């Protein structure tokens, strides 16, 4: 058996079977409290004959909740007779992190979105990433991974893609981003794309759409609605479900083409945000300050915009550390 074929994880449903199946990926986890224990990670497959396969994942990071809410509701409402093709739903991709309400796994410290394509003989996080790569992404035509800002960030509700070198793949991916129908559509330049599910899907030549829908380790009426509408829009766009995508207004297309779009703290202290999400700023504008509560004679440090554009992301906790992302500024994208 090749390394790609081998997996310690089993699945108690038939990934290729017709009908609606709710089941689990069984992940072995031997530990002090449970010698022969395992983690049953929920998965749903809804299939009705031939057609495209769409894979939806949520809680890639465990403190991001719009995906789990929208996908839990989708698996309850969608039936096999509604579908042409196949829908695979994993509402919590990093289930240990989700249970703990943390970005990373409390079992091995793994950041799921830096673990791909995974390792069948590695940690729990590595094994999940390997199974998803070899068993789920390999079957999919389109992958939608629903993110939010988690505990440390808050963002404008946006769908996200990357600027791809293959023109046909880029066109198909951009069409999917527009079909998702979020208020904003970001063509994002990643600071670190190694190990991301995004990269594995894109390198396989498939369509990949991510999101950032709010944050602060909670969800809102608006962000859940964007996620719910978005997943149904993708199913309609791909022809898996009948109907036309429901798009109240076209997504405002934005991007982060320069390093100056990311504003980071260079000291630690008490964080004061000076400009709200969605506001336009000019290069050099003060967007935040770091105060030093225990140093009365020390002047605050001002964090300034490196480019002109719209604030699309902000740091959420009241304290900030050196190197933390304080804000992200995006510019209009014209293609």
User: What is the per-residue pLDDT for 1?
Assistant: 58
What is the residue range of 135's domain? 10-254
Residues in contact with 335: Cβ distance below 8 Å, sequence separation at least 6, in sequence order: 253
pLDDT in tens, the chain (335 residues): 566 689 999 999 999 999 999 999 999 999 999 999 999 999 999 999 999 999 999 999 999 999 999 999 999 999 999 999 999 999 999 999 999 999 999 999 999 999 999 999 999 999 999 999 999 999 999 999 999 999 999 999 999 999 999 999 999 999 999 999 999 999 999 888 899 999 999 999 999 999 999 999 999 999 999 999 999 999 999 999 999 999 999 999 999 988 889 999 999 999 999 999 999 999 999 999 999 999 999 999 999 999 999 999 999 999 999 999 999 999 999 98
- Judge if 45 and 79 occupy the same domain: yes
Q: How far is Cα 126 from Cα 120, in angstroms, rounded to an integer?
A: 7
Residue 104: which CATH number? 3.40.630.10
Report if residue 152 sits inside a domain.
yes
Cβ(13)–Cβ(89) below 8 Å: no
Report if residue 3 sits inside a domain.
no
Report if residue 5 sits inside a domain.
no
- Judge if 153 and 187 occupy the same domain: yes
- Judge if 174 and 68 occupy the same domain: yes
| Cα dihedral 225, 228, 231, 237 in deg (nearest 10) | -70
User: What is the per-residue pLDDT for 335?
Assistant: 82
- Judge if 214 and 268 occupy the same domain: no
Report if residue 186 sits inside a domain.
yes
Cβ(271)–Cβ(314) below 8 Å: no
Domain C-terminal end among 229, 254, 279: 254
Report if residue 238 sits inside a domain.
yes
- Judge if 198 and 263 occupy the same domain: no
If one counts the domains in the chain, the total is 2
User: What is the per-residue pLDDT for 147?
Assistant: 98
C-alpha closest to that of 71 among 46, 51, 50: 46
- Judge if 179 and 310 occupy the same domain: no
User: What is the per-residue pLDDT for 2?
Assistant: 64
User: What is the per-residue pLDDT for 5?
Assistant: 81
Reduced 3-state DSSP string for the chain: CCCCCCCCCEECCCCCCCEEEEEEEEEECCECCECCCEEEEEEEEEEECCCCEEEEEECCCCCCCHHHHHHHHHHHHCCHHHCCEEEEEECCCCHHHHHHCCCCCCCCCCCHHHCCCCCCCCCHHHHHHHHHHHHHHHHCCEEEEECCCCCCEEECCEEEECCCCCHHHHHHHHHHHHHHCCCEEEECCCCCCCCCHHHHHHHCCCEEEEEECCCCCCCCHHHHHHHHHHHHHHHHHHCCCCCCCCCCCCCEEEECCCHHHEEECCCCEEEEECCCCCCEECCCCEEEEEECCCCCCCCCEEEECCCCEEEEEEECCCEECCCCEEEEEEEECCC
- Judge if 31 and 147 occupy the same domain: yes
- Judge if 220 and 159 occupy the same domain: yes
- Judge if 294 and 264 occupy the same domain: yes
Domain C-terminal end among 207, 237, 254: 254
Report if residue 4 sits inside a domain.
no
């Amino acid at each position: 058996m090749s390394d790609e074929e081998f997996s310690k994880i089993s699945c108690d449903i038939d990934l290729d079977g017709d009908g609606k199946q709710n089941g689990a990926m069984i992940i072995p986890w031997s530990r002090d409290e449970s010698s022969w224990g395992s983690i049953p990670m929920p998965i749903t497959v809804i299939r009705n004959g031939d057609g495209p396969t769409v894979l939806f994942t949520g809680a890639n990071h465990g403190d991001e909740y719009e995906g789990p809410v929208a996908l839990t509701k989708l698996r309850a409402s969608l039936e096999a007779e509604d579908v042409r093709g196949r829908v695979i739903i994993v509402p919590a991709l990093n289930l240990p992190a989700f249970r703990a309400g943390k970005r990373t796994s409390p079992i091995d410290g793994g950041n799921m979105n830096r673990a791909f394509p995974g390792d069948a003989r590695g940690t729990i996080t590595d094994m999940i990433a390997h199974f998803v790569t070899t068993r789920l992404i390999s079957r999919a035509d389109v992958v939608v991974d629903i993110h939010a800002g988690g505990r440390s960030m808050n963002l404008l509700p946006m769908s996200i893609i990357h600027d791809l070198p293959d023109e046909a793949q880029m066109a198909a991916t951009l069409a999917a981003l527009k079909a998702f129908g979020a208020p904003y559509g970001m063509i994002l330049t990643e600071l670190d794309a190694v190990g991301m599910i995004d990269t594995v899907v894109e390198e396989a030549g498939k369509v990949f759409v991510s999101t950032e829908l709010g944050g602060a380790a909670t969800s809102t009426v608006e962000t859940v609605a964007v996620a719910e509408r978005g997943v149904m829009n993708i199913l309609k766009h791909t022809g898996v479900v009948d109907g036309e995508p429901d798009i109240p207004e076209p997504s405002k297309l934005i991007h982060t083409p320069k390093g100056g779009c990311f504003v980071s703290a260079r000291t630690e202290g008490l964080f004061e945000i000076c400009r709200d999400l969605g506001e336009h700023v000019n290069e050099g504008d003060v967007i935040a300050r770091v105060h030093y509560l225990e140093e009365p004679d020390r002047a605050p440090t001002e964090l300034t915009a490196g480019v002109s554009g719209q604030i699309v992301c902000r740091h959420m906790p009241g304290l900030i550390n050196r190197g933390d992302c304080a804000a992200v500024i995006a510019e209009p994208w014209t293609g």
